[in-house]
Structure formats: structure tokens, C-alpha cells
Amino acid sequence: MSFHPEHEMHTRRKGRNIGVGLVLGALIVIIFGLTYVKVTSQGFQAPAAQEAQG
């Protein structure tokens, strides 16, 4: 038997923390994805690739 059984309040708090964490993670993925799409759709090439072509 545990001396510190998880209170129902802790379960709710944990759920909330996980939810906020996932939202923040999703925000990072979205901003990264948008940056990638914006940069690549404007004909951007990495300097190494430009040199190889030139």
C-alpha cells in the first residue's frame, strides 16, 4: 500500500499539465513546419547547394 495515494486533484492537475505540454509541443511543430514550407516554397537553397550549382 502506498503512503501517498494520488489524490483526485493530482490526477486532474496531471491531465492539465500533459494537455498544456502537448499544446506547446504542437505549437513548436506548427511553427517549424510553417517556417520550412515558407522557406522552401520561395526557391530557397542552402549555400552548399548554391555553390554546387554555380
**Interface residues toward other proteins, by CB under 8 A:** 4-5, 7-9, 12-13, 15-16, 18-20, 30-31, 33-34, 37-38, 41
Closest contact distance (angstroms) between CB of 37 and other proteins is 5
CA dihedral 11, 12, 18, 21 (to 10 degrees): -140
- CA proximity to 49, closest of 40, 25, 30: 40
Alpha-carbon distance 54 to 11, whole Å?
Answer: 60
Nearer to other proteins among residue 20 and residue 49 (C-beta): 20
In the complex, least distance from residue 43 CB atom to other proteins, rounded to whole angstroms: 14
